[in-house]
Amino acid sequence: MPAHRMNRDEFHAKIADYDADQLRKILWTLYWRGSAPMRERIEGQLDPDGQARQRARKVEPPTAAEVFEEVRGFVALARSGAYLAGDRRVSPKERTRWRFTFRRLAADAQAALAGDDVDTAAVAVEVLVDLACESEGFEYFRSDDPMQAAGFVVSDAVAGLWRAVRDRHGFATFVDQAAPQLLRWEAGHGWTRYGMGSVAEKETSLASVLEGMLQAPDHWRAFATRYLEVLDEAADRTPGTPRHRSRSAGHDRTARARALAEWHALLVDRLVGSEDEDLLDRLVGHAALAGPERTFLQAQLAHRRGDDETARKLVHDSLEGLPGHPGFHDLAQRISAPLPPRAQQVRQARR
């Protein structure tokens, strides 16, 4: 049965005979021994203006500089392995809650893009996206699929970043910054490890993000020109030690062509037949790209130019390297290209 609760008149009648000292004692007992919400309510009655200021501070979002400092510290700890084990800088409890920290920092960084300090907020988002891309191949956290666990949709974050930079600084600055980021971040299969789950379902390619932002032919020309400059810089960098340099460089070029295949197809579609078609000749033979995807890019361009004889040979060569690639098979069928033996087996198995 619920305990009796006095109404206002009954309460006032009860305390009518108490003097000020007695009332202060009662109030102090409630304040000192009461719960945290009880103390906050008493403090609010004693200092209404101070409580209002405290409430305002609680709802005021962190500044871009504050977010960046916290992001930088979090990322540095992750890269050092502190979120795995054996590092006193991260408590055992925090090691299991890293995804909530990541999620909060990502939300704060993206929210800060709408503020005055866009540049600092942009760097914070950039650092988190870098970490997200690295987490696919490095064990920074105790998770089989870190970005799925953190609920971080890389393509959404990058789209917000690029729009904020463009709106604040203009199209030229956006192009200058976004082109190297595209090369660094694009992933043909997304940014979760297994390509499944709620996060993977929300992801889109960065190529499709750019397609929605490049509205005019001049935009495509400007971005393609800057992108080729970035590829030139990538080609000049030779990763790895001298002993393994050839193998690692070739792997990087092949992986790059695979990750950016959708973007390259968009460039062919937009630039072929235009005044800027010469940019495509630089692209399809670029030293920063390699492997079957680059050969297939050459086949696409040859086909669009009406040279199907060359396209057939190039598609055949592409299927030698990736005999099961659906896009390669589709073009091969449309232009009646001969299939290498393994690709023939794949086509027969799919019937």
Is 301 a member of any domain? yes
Q: Give CA torsion, residues 232, 236, 239, 240, to 10 deg.
A: 150
Using one digit for the tens of pLDDT, what is the confidence trace for 256-273? 999 999 999 999 999 999
Angstrom distance (rounded) from CA 46 to CA 345: 83
Q: Are residues 303 and 348 in the same domain?
A: yes
Q: Are residues 42 and 90 in the same domain?
A: no
Q: Are residues 140 and 68 in the same domain?
A: yes
**Amino acid, single-letter form, for residue 329:** H
Considering only CA atoms, which of 114, 193, 179 is closest in space to residue 147?
193
DSSP classification of residue 61: P
Is 107 a member of any domain? yes
The percent of residues in the chain predicted with pLDDT above 90, rounded, is 73
Secondary structure of residue 323 in the 3-state scheme: coil
Q: Are residues 86 and 174 in the same domain?
A: yes
CB 207 within 8 A of CB 266: yes
Q: Where is the domain boundary, 60, 75, 107?
A: 60
Q: Are residues 178 and 259 in the same domain?
A: no
- The total of other beta-carbon atoms located within 10 Å of residue 245's CB is 12
Q: Are residues 225 and 332 in the same domain?
A: yes
Q: What is the CA radius of gyration of the chain?
A: 30
Helical pair 326-334 and 341-350, crossing angle rounded to 10 deg:
100
Q: Are residues 67 and 56 in the same domain?
A: no
Secondary structure of residue 190 in the 3-state scheme: coil
Q: Are residues 249 and 196 in the same domain?
A: no
Asked if the model's pLDDT at residue 289 lies above 70, the reply is yes
Considering only CA atoms, which of 220, 253, 216 is closest in space to residue 234?
253
Q: Are residues 39 and 68 in the same domain?
A: no
Using one digit for the tens of pLDDT, what is the confidence trace for 69-122? 999 999 999 999 999 987 889 998 999 999 999 999 999 999 999 999 999 999
- The owner of tokens 């192009």 is 175
Secondary structure of residue 144 in the 3-state scheme: coil
Is 215 a member of any domain? no
Is 9 a member of any domain? no
Is 336 a member of any domain? yes
Structural domains counted in the chain: 3
- pLDDT grade, residue 254 (50/70/90)? very high
Angstrom distance (rounded) from CA 316 to CA 308: 12
Please return the burial class of 207, using the count of CB atoms within 10 Å of its CB with bins 0-12, 13-18 and 19+: buried
Range of the domain at 31: 22-60
- The owner of tokens 């361009």 is 301
Is 168 a member of any domain? yes
Considering only CA atoms, which of 293, 344, 334 is closest in space to residue 314?
293
- pLDDT grade, residue 301 (50/70/90)? very high
Is 249 a member of any domain? yes
Q: Are residues 84 and 167 in the same domain?
A: yes
DSSP classification of residue 17: T
Q: Are residues 114 and 168 in the same domain?
A: yes
Average pLDDT on 46-50 reads 74
Q: Are residues 107 and 229 in the same domain?
A: no
Using one digit for the tens of pLDDT, what is the confidence trace for 165-194? 999 999 999 999 999 999 999 998 999 999
Is 13 a member of any domain? no
